[in-house]
Structure 1
Amino acid sequence: MKVTRTITVDRPLHTVVAYLTDFGNTVHWDPGTISCTRTDRGPISVGSSWRNVSTFNGRTTELDYRLERLEPARLTFVGHNDHATTVDDLLFAKDGDATTITYNAEITFKGLLRLATPLLHGRFERLADEVQTSLTAELELL
């Protein structure tokens, strides 16, 4: 399942990218995230990792996320557990004094859960709408 949302905030690109580079901040803007804890140390770089506990469709799940791409205008985080793989790919563009974010999220279920994919697509779309609203509000506070 894939969803894409575009968000424009009245904040400088470097500020937005710096904030979103720390995946632990998802606890502030992802309504499904219960906790997101860094599992390594040192400066955030490609390979940095987090343990994310979240709810989706009424179930609590844990995913181990890794920062796979860290570029001035793009971040990619990949999460894994026994039941799913997720990819959060964020592209950034300067828009005057504002920043436009194209947020692509994809979840691929494993095993028997793959059969539920069509049934869960509507819920995934609603979650993406909620993330768009809360992420916009959070970034406007920076």
Structure 2
Amino acid sequence: MVDVQRTFTVSADKEKVRTFLRDFANATRWDPGTQSCVQSTPGPVTLGTKWDNTSKIAGISTELVYELTRDDPEHIVLTGTNKTATSVDDIRFEAEGPDKTVVTYHAHVVFNGAAKLADPIVKLVFLRLADETEKQMTETLEAL
């Protein structure tokens, strides 16, 4: 199991931050591991919207189907699944002034079956990746 969390402040309006992050197709812009992320359900982004995501971490590519499973004004959850893992991106937003937002990003990954054997190595990789994600997400959000 991987469990990493980062809390950081960005110079951007909370609603802009929320709108941008709840559309998981934008993950290619803020998640260093995401290679592609395409919305697979038609229409606007809403609870239940799904995306086909391809990520590459430590040289290994994986595909997950993500779904927007929580869509509150200050809290979104995107849940990705495939046969080897369930990945949950839990993101909270708190306004800290007119153009400042505190973002709490929590990534939780549970591996299934034989994939559990990679747990100790993957934890180390995700700790490093969490720092890169915070940096890239901050830069992207502040450019909105």
TM-score where L is the length of structure 2: 0.96
User: Is residue 48 of structure 2 the alignment partner of residue 47 of structure 1?
Assistant: yes
In the alignment, what sits opposite 1:38? 39
Which structure 2 residues correspond to residues 95-106 of structure 1 after superposition, within 5 A?
95-97=96-98, 98-106=100-108
In the alignment, what sits opposite 2:7? 6
- Cα distance in 2, alignment partners of residues 11 and 90 from structure 1: 15
In the alignment, what sits opposite 1:111? 113
In the alignment, what sits opposite 1:80? 81
Runs of at least 5 residues in structure 1 that lack an aligned partner in the other structure: none
Runs of at least 5 residues in structure 2 that lack an aligned partner in the other structure: none
Displacement, 1:29?
A: 1.1
In the alignment, what sits opposite 1:61? 62
- Cα distance in 2, alignment partners of residues 20 and 130 from structure 1: 17
- Cα distance in 2, alignment partners of residues 42 and 141 from structure 1: 26
Displacement, 1:57?
A: 2.1
- Cα distance in 2, alignment partners of residues 80 and 23 from structure 1: 14
- 2:92 is paired with a residue whose SS is strand
User: Is residue 124 of structure 2 the alignment partner of residue 137 of structure 1?
Assistant: no
The runs of 4+ residues in structure 1 deviating greater than 2 Å are none
Alpha-carbon RMSD: 0.7
Displacement, 1:25?
A: 0.1
- 1:96 is paired with a residue whose SS is coil
- 2:47 is paired with a residue whose SS is coil
- Cα distance in 2, alignment partners of residues 90 and 67 from structure 1: 11
- Cα distance in 1, alignment partners of residues 59 and 86 from structure 2: 18
Q: How many residues align?
A: 142
- 1:63 is paired with a residue whose SS is strand
TM-score where L is the length of structure 1: 0.97
What is the percentage of aligned positions where both structures have the same residue?
42
Equivalent position amino acid for 2:38 in 1: T
Displacement, 1:21?
A: 1.1
- 1:31 is paired with a residue whose SS is coil
